Amino acid sequence: QKEVEQDPGPLSVPEGAIVSLNCTYSNSAFQYFMWYRQYSRKGPELLMYTYSSGNKEDGRFTAQVDKSSKYISLFIRDSQPSDSATYLCAMTRAGAGSYQLTFGKGTKLSVIP
């Protein structure tokens, strides 16, 4: 079992829909959780990050972490065609070695106008 599991999709939704993306993980040492967005032929860019459990909202994006279930989610409200990209979850532990991120395989999202 990989440390981080993420459904690769592809996921196709109509414009304006609410999108739910998620990852599960097995390493209980993970404390920091991130979501990256990657457009085709580009490097990933950091979208949101959270520490430990809880919710964080930024505009149309909400990140949720449930450490008891080892489950993280990213919600996108009022999805736009420009949101079409691959979304990668990433996580790391606290302290020494925290620079080393463990990524999910990514979910490819298409938002249809």
Task: Report which of 21, 17, 41 is spatially closest to residue 88, judged by C-alpha positions.
Answer: 21
50 near another protein, judged by CB under 8 A = no
Q: How far apart are CA 106 and CA 5, in angstroms?
A: 9
User: Residue from 14, 59, 95, 97 that binds another protein (CB under 8 A)?
Assistant: 97
Nearer to another protein, 8 or 16 (CB): 8
Burial class (CB in 10 A: 0-12, 13-18, 19+), 14: exposed
Nearer to another protein, 63 or 79 (CB): 63
Query: For binding to another protein (CB under 8 A), which residues are involved?
Result: 4, 6, 8, 32, 34, 41-46, 49, 88, 90, 92, 97-106
